[in-house]
Structures are given as C-alpha cells and as structure tokens.
Amino acid sequence: MTAPERPTGRVRITSPLAHAPAHQRRSAAQEIEESSTVGAVYVRSLMRAQRRAAVGTVVLAAVSIGLLPIIFWTDLALRSWHVGPVPLVWLALGVGVYPWVWLLGRANVARTERNERTFAALMESPTDPRGPEAR
Amino acid sequence: MSTTTGVLAIGTVTVATVLIGALAMRWSRTTSDFYVASRSVSPWLNASAIGGEYLSAASFLGVAGLVLLGGADMLWYPIGWTTGYLLLLVVVAAPLRRSGAYTIPDFAGWRMQSTAVRQVSTVLVVAVGWLYLMPQFRGAGLTLQAVTGAPAWAGVLVVATVVAALVASGGMRSVTLVQAFQYWLKLTALLVPLVFLVIAWRADGSPGPLDAAEWALPAADLGGARLYTAYAILVATCLGTMGLPHVVVRFYTNRDGAAARRTTLIVLGLLGIFYLLPTAYGALGRVYAPDLATGELAETVVLELPGRMLGTGAELLAALLLAGAFAAFLSTSSGLTMAIAGVVGQAIERRRWFEGRLVGVAAVRVAAAGCVVPPIALALYGSEVSIAMSVTFAFALAASTFCPLLVLGIWWSRLTRAGALAGLVGGGVTAGTAPLVTIALAPTGWTGLLVAQPALWSVPLAFALMVGVSLATPRSLPVAVDAAFARLHTPERPAAPHR
C-alpha cells in the first residue's frame, strides 16, 4: 500500500462516463428474481410472518379441540350437563365445533392475505433506503 | 325399498355421472387438461368438487352407523375430517399450489431435488390410495347387495368399471364437474329426507333413545383407553387429510395460491354443513332402529330410517338416499383412481416403455385401468377387514408419511434428503405394518389398541425421524432451498411489471 498521491493542480476530465451504465433502481421483486442475498431476506421475513400465522391458528385449534376429550371424557361435571333435553357434549361436538373451525380458518386467511399485501407493497417500492421519491 | 326402485336410483346416478363425464370430455384435450383441468377451475366449483370427492361413503353411511353404535365416542371422526381441512388451509394450501407440481411425488421430487424421495412418495401414494379405495368398493358391493339382493362382487365390479372408464375417458376435468355435481347431490340426498324424518319425530312426541344415559353420554369408566382412542382418531383424521393423494391433487386445479386458500375456506364451510346431518341420522337411528346397532348392519341405518319412520313417500326418500350413497362411492373412488393413475402414469412415462410411446394421456389411461385391479381383489377377498378399520389405516398411513413431508418441506428450510427419506420410510413401515399385525395377530388390551390406532405414536415418530436425521446430515441439504422457498411463499404477480 502506498500513500495516495496528492492531486497537483487542476484535473481535466476527459471521459464524463457517458457510456457507463446509468444507475438502476432495483426493486425488491428483482432482488428476489435474481435470488440475491437481499431477496432471500425479504422472502424469509414473509415466510416467518406466515409461519407465525399458521402456528397461531394450529395452536389455537389444537388447544380448543384438544381439550374437548379431557372436558367430556373424564369425571368432570360437564360430562352430564344438558341444554334442554340435549346433552351438552352433543351440542359441542355435533354442532358447535364446525362454525368454530370455520371462523379459525377465516381469521387465518385474513391474516395471511394481509401479510401478502404488505409484502406486495414492498415489492412495488424500490429498495433505495431514501424511498421512492429519491432520484 | 323395492328392488326396482333401488336399481332405478343407482342407474340414474351412474348414467348422470357418465353423461357429465362425457360432456366434459369434449373439453379435455391436452395432458394438462387431463391432470389438473388446465388450472382454470373457479373457487366455488373447485370447492364443491373437493367436497364431493372427499365425502366418501364412510361419511355418508359410515358416520351415522358409527354414531348409532358408539354414541358420543364416535363424534370425533367427522370433527377430525373437518379439522383436517383447517390444517390443510393453514399449513399447505397456498404454498402447495405455488409449488406448481401436479402430484405429491412431483412436489417431493422438486422440493428435495431427489429421485429417491420421489420414488418412495410414488409407492406411498399408491399404498394409501389402494388402502382407501378398497373400502369404497366393498361398501358399494354391500349396499348393492342389501338393496337388490345381487351378490356383493357384482356391485364391486359395477363401481370399479364405471370409475375406471370415467377416469380413462375424461381425466380430471370430467372428474371436477362430476365431483361438484355429486357434493350437492349428497347434501340434498341427506337433507331432504332428514326434514321429513324430523317432522315425523316431533309428531311422535320427540322420543329419546331407551338407553339414553349409557349411549348418549361419554363413558368415564374406561378413562385411559377412551382418551387414547379419542386423541388417536383426532390425530389420524386431522393430519391424514392433508396426505390423501386425491385431496392434495385438487389444489393444483386452483388459479393461484390465494384462490387455493379461498377454495379451502369454502370447503371448510361445505364440510361443516354436511357433517351436521349424519350425526342426526345416527341419533334418530338409536331411537327408531336400535336393532341395527350390531356390526355391519349399522352402516345401513341411513337407508333404513325412512321405511321405519314414514308411511307414504318413504320409498322415494329411501331411493334418494341410496342415490346419494352411490354418488359417494363413485366420487371418492374416481378421485382416488385419478390421483393414483396420475402418479403411476408419470412413473410409466419416466420408464419410457414401448420405445417411449406410452406418454401423456395414454399413460394415464393405462394406469387408470391397471390401478383399480388390486383394490378390487382386496375388496373381494379381504373380508376380515371392516370398512371403518381400513379407512382408519389409510388415514394413519397418510398422516405418518405425507403430513410430515409437506409440513417440514414447506416450512423448515433445514430438511435434508436423508431426513425426508428416513421419515417417509419409518412412518410408512410402522403405520403400514400396524394393520397387518392387527389382522394377523389380533392382539388385545393396550397392545391391541396401540396397533389398531397407530397414529398417535407413528406420526410423532415420523416427525422425529425427519427432524433428527436432517439435523444429523446437513450435507444432504438440497441445493437452492432459498429459490424453492421464494416460490412457495411469495404471492404470484399477475404480470411482472419490470419486464
């Protein structure tokens, strides 16, 4: 390594880099297409968000439905409760579970689609940290 | 019901099925049409088709029979079969569609970049498919026998022939339309008679079953065994759903990942509505037909009730129910046959038999004809296995193999080829030998329970094998995992704006 030369006097510019490629704005979509490191980071963060949504719904379903056998198949008083002439266990297992499962699914679809919209908005904007206004 | 009415009902459903199939055949031209209806099926049509395909005779006749026999203990089956779709929606629907593969082996081969994983998956698809096809054919034989007095083998052959012809002629496109028609047929066939039955029941003073206390309430005395059974049924049915070959292949017919999700949500609603009905039939059966609560006769409770409870019009309603039951046999069998034929057809293509002339549509046709033969043989000779039992084993096998492969393949980037293979083989061997042990040795007590309902231990085993072996063999990680994950998880763009 040598010390940088000190500029002496005026420097004449002979090539204004007219033929050099212009600076390109790179969108997040391009980064992903070219499987760059930056693209992988975007995809991983989307995947983590989607995985959180999936795990949340699965845990909620597993706990709510998984508790039913314990509630009704052990010696708790709930086992023999009746609503009118119908045992509670039939209302819960024969009817109530189905709308509950549908609602869980509906909530999950809403959340995952929101994640994807956020991601799509990110795709539209260039990765330039100064934002889309900077030129 | 008289034999003439019964034959008429079955004949009408069969003819309608073949007609719709033939109509769709005119559109079915290319190989892509054949496999996945060129991916142009709308969410509502697709959801009806999935519902029609999924609701087998085990749902249409079996659930009511199980409820009649076992009361509240049996309500886990329909709950698991519905919740399975919730898991499918949440965990695999959109990514699976985005993977762009036609079948499970396609997905496995693409994601793991491994021919070995693809081949093991092909074998497993065929195994699960046959295990599930066999009870469909047997159920059809038994129903036809009960109604017409014809020997059981005749019913098996009729259904198998119609199904093979349907699949070989029109492929998935015709199957899609036929299935959608059959969901609504099945729903109507259960709903309309039930309205009349409930009216009759109320006019009768709304009687409850004689043995309400023992039958309707869960028994607390057998605590441990009952709890194990409940959880094992839930795990097998919930997790097995996503691994059934005829269910998964349906997701490729969606336009994109978002459509796949919307479709599955509609299916979830359609299933929830449907499963309210067989439970009601089972409960009414306990009141009006308690004598049927013995063995295989229980399966006929849905068909028997109109005759027992109604005077005029009973014949017509029973015929409607029979038509629905037959639609259930036809739809599930044709979906399964299509799925197996698609996978085997691809394998035939890869082998390049007959100097590579057996490709595309021709390969699927040959495969469809060949694939129905082994389950026919099983249905005719394997009479010691009950219908409910073989359905349970099919779900347990799917849950122990394809469920871990799909879940980890989609969400865990460190899954390796060796890990995937170890899980598929380990889960497949344990869940595959459990039925053999049950049939051959018939163990009793806890051992008997563990092999009769293997899912609760074989599914965790398969997951543990996949994760454990993957962590131990980081060198067999497939290349380009990042690219694969980008494809699975990023939403499709309608048109690339920067091009």
Q: Give the start-to-end residue ranges of the domains of chain A.
A: 29-126
CA distance B391 to B123: 18
Q: Say how far apart CA B34 and CA B28 lie, in whole Å.
A: 6
pLDDT tens for each residue of B215-240: 777 765 556 788 888 899 899 999 99
- Contact (Cβ atoms closer than 8 angstroms) between residue B81 and residue B321: no
Asked if pLDDT for residue A3 goes beyond 70, the answer is no
Q: Which amino acid is at B235?
A: V
**Interface membership of B89 toward A (CB under 8 Å):** yes
Distance from CA of B277 to the nearest CA of A (A): 9
Q: What is the pLDDT of residues B250-259, one digit of tens each?
A: 777 788 888 8
B328 part of a folded domain:
yes
- Going by pLDDT thresholds of 50, 70 and 90, the confidence category of residue A124 is confident
Q: Is B61 on the interface with A (CB under 8 A)?
A: no
Which among A44, A87, A105 has the least Cβ separation from residue B268? Answer: A105
Total domain count for chain B? 1
Mean of pLDDT values over B337-342: 84
At B94-138, the pLDDT tens digits run: 999 888 887 889 899 999 999 999 999 999 999 999 888 888 888
First-last CA distance in chain A: 36
Burial-class residue B449 by CB neighbours within 10 Å (0-12, 13-18, 19+): middle
Nearest by Cα to B85 from A93, A61, A115 = A61
Give me the mean pLDDT over the B182-198 stretch. 92
Ordered alpha helix ranges (H), chain A: 28-33, 37-73, 88-90, 97-124
B453–A contact, CB cutoff 8 A:
no
pLDDT at B136: 85
Q: In this complex, do B220 and A74 lie within 8 Å of one another by their Cβ atoms?
A: yes
Selected residue with higher pLDDT from B376 and A131 = B376
Answer yes or no: is B348 within a domain. yes
Residue A101 has pLDDT above 80, yes or no: yes
ipTM: 0.87
Is A95–B86 a contact, with Cβ atoms under 8 angstroms apart?
A: no
CA distance B123 to chain A (A): 29
Residue A119 to residue B491, Cβ atoms within 8 A: yes
User: In the predicted model, is pLDDT for residue B142 greater than 50?
Assistant: yes
- Give the pLDDT of residue A130: 46
Q: What average pLDDT score do residues A60-89 get?
A: 82
Q: Is the pLDDT of residue A131 over 50?
A: no
- Summarize the confidence of residues B376-397 as an average pLDDT: 79
Whether the per-residue pLDDT at B499 is higher than 60: the answer is no
- For residue B459, is pLDDT > 90? yes
Lowest mean pLDDT among B127-136, B174-183, B205-214: B205-214
Q: Residue B91 belongs to a domain with what CATH number?
A: 1.20.1730.10
> What mean pLDDT, rounded, does chain B reach?
83
Write the pLDDT tens digit of every residue in B32-46: 555 555 456 678 888
pLDDT at B497: 41
| Pick among B83, B85, B202, B459 to test the A interface (most A CBs inside 10 A) | B83
Indicate the range of A23-37, B273-287, B331-345 predicted with least confidence.
A23-37
Among A44, A89, A102, most B C-beta atoms within 10 A, so best to mutate, is A102
Confirm or reject contact between A64 and chain B (CB < 8 A). Answer: no
pLDDT greater than 50 at residue A134: no
Question: B179: Cβ–Cβ under 8 A, 6 or more apart, which residues?
Answer: B48, B49, B50, B52, B53, B331, B334, B335
At residue B345, the pLDDT reads 83
Q: Is A94 on the interface with B (CB under 8 A)?
A: yes
Residue A125 CB neighbour total at 10 angstroms? 12
Residues counted in chain A: 135
Measured CA to CA, the distance from residue A74 to residue A67 in angstroms comes to: 11
Q: Compare CB distances from B485 to A43, A54, A61 and report the shortest one's residue.
A: A43
State whether B83 and A101 contact (CB < 8 Å): yes
What is the share, in percent, of chain B residues with pLDDT greater than 70? Answer: 89
The shares of helix, strand and coil residues in chain B, as percent rounded to the nearest 5, are 85, 0, 15
What is the domain range of residue B298? 3-386
User: Residue B211: inside a domain, yes or no?
Assistant: yes
Are A40 and B258 an interchain contact pair (Cβ–Cβ within 8 Å)?
no
Please tell me which residue of chain A has the smallest CA distance to B269.
A102
**Span B17-32, mean pLDDT?**
66
Q: Model confidence at A19, in pLDDT bands (50, 70, 90)?
A: low
B141, B377 in Cβ contact below 8 A? no
The shortest C-alpha distance from A29 to chain B (Å) reads 9
Work out the pLDDT band at B168, boundaries 50, 70, 90: confident
> Closest Cα to residue B170, out of B38, B328, B264?
B38
* In a domain? residue B392: no
pLDDT of the residue at B426: 96
- State the CB neighbour count (10 A cutoff) for residue B319: 25
CA pair distance B249, B150, nearest whole angstrom: 35
Amino acid at B350: R
State phi, psi for A82 to the nearest 5 degrees: -125, 145
The reported pLDDT for the residue numbered A33 is 63
Is the distance from CB of B142 to CB of B299 less than 8 angstroms? Answer: yes
CA B411 to CA B248: how far, in whole Å? 17
Give residue B410's pLDDT band: very low, low, confident or very high (50, 70, 90): very high
pLDDT at B375: 82
A98/B275 touch (CB, cutoff 8 Å), yes or no: yes
Which residue has tokens 């849905």?
B302
Read off the pLDDT band of B245 (50, 70, 90): confident
